[in-house]
Amino acid sequence: MSKHRGLRSVVAVLSALGIAASCVQACAADAVPGVSDTEVMLGGTHPFSGPASAYGVIDKGIQAYFAYVNDAGGVNGRKITYKDLDDAYSPPQALQLTKQLVEQDHVFAIFNSLGTAVNLALRPYLNENKVPQLFVSTGATTWGADALKFPWTIGFQIDYQAEAIVFGKNIAAHAPNAKVAVLFQDDDFGRDYLTGLQRGLGAIGILKSESYEVTDPDVRSQIETLKASGADTLLIAATPKFATQALVAIGQLGWKASTYLTDVAATHTVMRAAAQGGGPAATDGVTSATYLLDPANPAVANTRGIKLFKQLLAKYQPTVDPTDFLVLYGMAVAYTMVDTLKRAGKDLTREKVMDLVAHIDERDNPFMLPGIVVQTSPGDRFPIRQERLGRYADNNWQPFGPIIDARK
Amino acid sequence: MIALSRERTRHLAAVAIVAILVFAAPLVLPPYVTFELAFGGAYAIAILGLIVLTGNNGQISLGHGAFVAIGGYTVAILLQRTALPIWAAVALAPAVSGFVGVLVGAVALRLSGAYLALATFALAVTFPPTIKRFGALTGGSQGIALTSLRVPPFIAAFISSERLLYYLIWTCLALICALTWYLLAGRVGRAMRALRDHEIAAVSFGIDPVRYKSLAFGWSAAYAGIAGALLALLTSYVSPDTYSLQLSITLLIGAVLGGLGTLWGAIVGGIVIEFLPLWAQSINPAATSIVYGIALIAVMIAMPAGIAGTLTRGVRPRPATPGDRWDRTASGTCSAANGAAVRPRAEGTSRRSS
């Protein structure tokens, strides 16, 4: 009797699944999955829970921008639906949800799923099934570099190598006698930086590089070694926690190096913490780079992009922090997505979209710094390879100098 | 000659019906659900390990995600660097994780209850950074993609890779369930449960605690290793993010939700931890953890002995008496009716930690 009951629960679960699934199967796919006369459906995953949940707000920016476009009539008569699910930053979870989005919801494309590991796990499946994996949210170099092997995948934001090239070029142009030191995280992220910096510096070369492991408690000893090398210029290719430690150590050691900080760590949180621990000397004059407008900087508050950003948030996502650049990033990538759909015209297919994302020349993305061009060609599948430098002063990043292009 | 009691007949009937359902499921379900059920089966194997360790030996592990990771990385590294066939790599995974498990078990001897939980928790916390540290071998934070995974054409003509993996995993689960049931019903299982219930008494009867507690850890870790190997095949990719702290906690949640006192608990637990987050998504994608948490609390209030545990105990005529359902009585029949199906999970450990 008792065993019978235990069995019954299993049977119930399985049969419930069966019912749910047969309903799903009944809904046959359209000629082009996810596209009807009135709707185009995109899918994706972001971490709304778990260790990387801070990135979840990107979804708010994307949804706000799509809602704005839909209210204005959509794209070619189609409203955009974006089904964004919570993968908790777990690659297996993301793969399951993505299969569901592709096979159950019949989404047209996977858009902006976040995380290098997550997208690496999705890439073989999506490419095998010829589902576009568009504008992924990760700075790894592989999205552009391995496009021949994975033609259904394309990145978006500037890759780590390109950013390091930007820094290197600036040093080569303005301080040809610089003695350059590097602190880098000993993984693909850090090594991409090292490679890019070498390319950007050209003949100058790197005087001394020190690495750290993510398991290291502190990077102070590395900074001491780099200082002792006699370098006068320092590049920090570190994630936020270690970047903060490095800046604090620089301030405390009184090292007067001209310091470059990766975009990854150039957040207000890092800078505030570093200034607290190492004094103003730790952060004043630090150089970073970006391609986006900074919603926290009052100097750009009157630009078209920031005005639109704040207006859309007030209307569609009033609870979201209007100074969070991640939300703005979401709008920027949504803008390029909408732009691509517009260019595809009424006759929308997956093949066409993949062809279009290999021929981007977008000069008017309002959420990016004026002059930044989103650009690809079949031989260059890195949409963004330009940045403008910014110097930290008065608790803000003040953009300066021209736009630097890592391609040239 | 063992006569089939009514109890055993029912048991066999239950197994047969579940076997038919498991066999038929991929034939009627869409591929992605088959894929998800395959994950559920792999989780069930890991949870089976917790039923051995926690349910029968009273040792709590919050670090089983690390053993799953060892299994996954063993397969990934072997397939990437050697010409070993897939089956051999999968077979080696539990050997490696089981060996590490025995070592951890030897250390864990001195700890019990909350202290043991914390020590194993540390294992789960430190494992992902450790993987990153040995980037040359493990691929660092970018992990390893199992690109060499190709179903041979003569097999692919008959069956999709999802179905193939699904049947592989559920067959493994069935074999492991049978093995576990056999071992737990015998001398080893009795010794482990005796240690759980009263260590001093057990030792005075000649049961060697060092041996059996290390064995339980190694045994349990070997199952986690098999699960990890199968999960790695399913995702075709391993990375430190795959084996977050959350995985260890989720496995324990699965074991408790399913029921630590019955092998059915592993299957129910595996299915639940696979589908509960997906279901929570469909309720509200922005608040998955809240929906998940509420569902957990609701189940634990309604079914304190786990889903499978409570369903099997609900109609039991007699209250808890010593002896578990898988103890064989002198007549050789499964003594389901003579004992409690489930012992509340805290019982075995709280006694020992005091």
Contacts of A120 in chain B (CB under 8 A): 142-143, 145, 237, 239
Give the three-class secondary structure for B255.
helix
| Facing residue for A188 by CB, picked from B35, B142, B336 | B142
- With CB atoms and an 8 Å threshold, state whether B314 touches A90: no
Residue B317 has pLDDT above 60, yes or no: no
- pLDDT at residue B323, rounded to an integer: 44
Q: What is the ipTM of this complex?
A: 0.82
Residue pointed to by tokens 């706000």: A64
Rg of chain A, C-alpha, whole Å = 23
A91 touches chain B (CB under 8 A): yes
Q: Which H/E stretch holds residue B238?
A: strand B237-238
Decide if pLDDT at B111 tops 80.
yes
**Does B29 lie at the interface with A, CB-CB under 8 angstroms?**
yes
Least CB–CB distance from B311: residue in A5, A50, A83 = A5
Cα gap B354→B352, rounded to integer Å: 5
Report strand pairing: A233-237 vs A287-290: unpaired
Q: Do A50 and B262 touch (CB under 8 A)?
A: no
Task: Please give the helix or strand (H or E) that residue B345 lies within, else none.
Answer: helix B345-353
Find all residues with CB under 8 Å of B232, minimum gap 6, and list them: B71, B72, B73, B75, B76, B146, B238
Number of Cβ within 10 Å of residue A286's Cβ equals: 24
The pLDDT of residue A29 is 44
Q: What is the 3-state secondary structure (H, E, C) of chain A?
A: CHHHHHHHHHHHHHHHHHHHHHHHHHCCCCCCCCECCCEEEEEEEECCCCCCHHHHHHHHHHHHHHHHHHHCCCECCEEEEEEEEECCCCHHHHHHHHHHHHHCCCCCEEECCECHHHHHHHHHHHHHCCCCEECCECCCCHHHHCCCCCCCECCCCCCHHHHHHHHHHHHHHHCCCCCEEEEEECCHHHHHHHHHHHHHHCCCCEEEEEEECCCCCCCHHHHHHHHHCCCCEEEEECCHHHHHHHHHHHHHHCCCCEEEECHHHCCHHHHHHHHHHHCHHHCCCCEEEECECCCCCHHHCCCHHHHHHHHHHHHHCCCCCCCCHHHHHHHHHHHHHHHHHHHHCCCCCHHHHHHHHCCCEECCCCCECCCCCEECECCECCCCCEEEEEEEECCEEEEEEEEEECCC
Label residue B324 by pLDDT band (50, 70, 90).
low
- Which residue is listed with tokens 């403008």? A388
Q: Cα distance from B31 to chain A (closest Cα, Å)?
A: 8
- pLDDT, residue B318, reads 40
- Check A6 against B312: CB less than 8 A apart: yes
Pairing of strands A79-86, A109-111: unpaired
Report how far residue A189's alpha carbon sits from residue B337's, in angstroms, rounded to the nearest whole number: 60
Query: Can you read off the two tokens belonging to residue A123?
Result: 């890439």
Dist. CA B265–CA A376, nearest whole Å: 53
Nearest-neighbour CA in chain B from A48: distance (Å): 7
Which among A211, A199, A204, A253 has a CA at the least distance from the CA of A233?
A204
The whole-number pLDDT of residue A181 equals 96
What per-residue confidence (pLDDT) applies to B13?
Answer: 87
* pLDDT of the residue at B218: 95
DSSP string over B3-68: PPPHHHHHHHHHHHHHHHHHHHHHHHS-HHHHHHHHHHHHHHHHHHHHIIIIIIH----S-HHHHH
- For residue B348, name the pLDDT band (cuts at 50, 70, 90): very low
Report CB contact under 8 Å: B133, A116.
Answer: no
Q: Is B183 on the interface with A (CB under 8 A)?
A: no
Buried b (16+ CB within 10 A) or exposed e, A368-378: bbeebbbbbee
Position B23 scores a pLDDT of: 94
Mean pLDDT by 10 residues, chain A (408 residues): 48 49 43 93 93 89 97 96 93 94 96 94 94 95 93 95 95 94 89 93 92 86 95 93 94 94 89 92 93 92 95 95 93 97 95 96 95 95 95 90 91
Instruction: Inform me whether the C-beta atom of residue B281 falls under 8 Å from chain A C-beta atoms.
Output: yes
The long-range contacts involving A247-250, CB below 8 angstroms and separated by at least 24 positions, are A247/A271, A247/A274, A247/A277, A247/A278, A247/A282, A247/A283, A247/A286, A248/A273, A248/A274, A248/A277, A248/A278, A248/A282, A249/A219, A249/A220, A249/A223, A249/A224, A249/A278, A250/A223, A250/A278, A250/A281, A250/A282
A93 interaction partners in chain B (CB closer than 8 Å): 277
CA dihedral of residues A222, A226, A228, A232 (deg, nearest 10) = -150
Determine whether the interchain pair B30/A24 forms a contact, defined as Cβ–Cβ distance below 8 Å. yes
pLDDT at A38: 95
Within 68-87 of B, beta carbons closer than 8 Å to A belong to: none
Backbone angles phi, psi at A342, to 5 degrees: -60, -45
**Which of A1, A86, A92 lies at the smallest CB-CB distance from B315?**
A1
What is the enclosing helix (H) or strand (E) of B234? helix B209-235
Query: Are the CB atoms for B96 and B74 separated by under 8 Å?
Result: yes
By residue count, chain B amounts to 354
Q: How confident is the model at residue B319 (pLDDT cuts 50, 70, 90)?
A: very low
- Kindly state whether A11 is in contact with chain B, defined as any CB-CB distance less than 8 angstroms: yes
What is the pLDDT at residue B304? 86
B351 touches chain A (CB under 8 A): no
Decide: A351 and A365 in contact? Cβ < 8 Å.
no
Chain B 98-157, CB below 8 Å of chain A: which residues? 129-130, 132-133, 135, 140-143, 145, 147
Distance CA A303, CA A322 (A): 15
Closest Cα in chain A to B126: A215
- Compute the radius of gyration of chain B from its Cα atoms: 20
B258-310 pLDDT, tens digit each: 999 899 999 999 999 999 988 888 887 777 788 888 988 998 899 888 898 88
Please check the confidence at residue B174 and state whether its pLDDT lies above 70.
Answer: yes
User: What is the pLDDT, as a whole number, of residue B114?
Assistant: 85
Q: What is the 3-state secondary structure (H, E, C) of B80-135?
A: HHCCCCHHHHHHHHHHHHHHHHHHHHHHHCCCCHHHHHHHHHHHHHHHHHHHHHCH
Verify whether the Cβ–Cβ distance B244 to A9 is below 8 Å. no
